[in-house]
Amino acid sequence: MHARYTAATVFVDHYSNLSYVLMQRDKTSEELMKSKMSFENYAKAHGVQVRNYHADNGRFADNAFINDVKHKNQGMTYCGVNAHHQNGKAEKRIRDLQDHARILIMQACHKWPEAISPHLWPYAVRVANKTRNYTPCTTSRMIPIAAFSGTDEIPKISHLHTFGCPAYVLVNELQMKRKIDKWKPRCRVGIYLGPSPSHASSVHLIMSPVIQFHVQ
C-alpha cells in the first residue's frame, strides 16, 4: 500500500517537560483536531486538564482549532510572525526527536539493511519520545511522566528497548498453549519497533524481516 504518515504534531508540557507525539497522514485541520483530542484524552487519563495552548501562527490558527479551544474554555496564545524562538521548548523538542530518531534508524540500517528504511521514521520517533518521557531530565532531574502525573513513583523502564534490536517472538502454537514437535523452532526473530500505542505497555510492535506475501 502507498498510505504513509507525512507529519506529526508534538505537544510539550512546559512544567514537566513531557512531550506527546501523534502521527498524521496529512497536515489538514481534520488530522490536527484528531491529534488535539488524542492529547487531551492522554492528559485526562493522567489527571491533567489542558487549560492553555501556545503555538505558532500556522495550522494552529485554523478556525477548527480556535473554535474547539473556545468551546472548551481554553486559552490560546501565539508566537509573533517568524518568531519561532518564542515557542522554544516545542521547537527544541521537535529537533531533538528528529535527531534521536535519525540516529536510531541509521543504527538499525546497519543491522537490517534489507528491512529498515526511512519509511519507519514514525516508529523511531515514538521510541525516542517514550525514552525521553521515562528518563530524568538532565537539568531539572525530574522524570517527565512522573512530574506530569503528579506522582513520586519512578516509572518502570524494564519494557524500554532499543529501536531495531532483534526480538524473539514465541511461535503462535506455543502462545495458544499447543504442543509442537520438540525439534521445531520455538520462536522467530523479528525487528523491534517500539511499544504499541494501542495496547498495554508490555505489548510491543515486532516487524518480520522476511517478506510474508508477494502480489503481482
Give one DSSP letter per residue of 102-147, joined into a string.
HHHHHHHHHH-TTT--GGGHHHHHHHHHHHHHHS--TTT---HHHH
CATH topology of domain 7-154: Nucleotidyltransferase; domain 5 (3.30.420)
Mean pLDDT of 144-157: 89
Tell me, rounded to whole angstroms, the distance of Cα 104 from its chain centroid: 14
pLDDT given at position 132: 93
**pLDDT confidence tier of residue 180, bands split at 50, 70 and 90:** confident
Residue 21 has pLDDT above 80, yes or no: yes
C-alpha cell recorded at residue 61: 490558527
Mean pLDDT of 78-87: 83
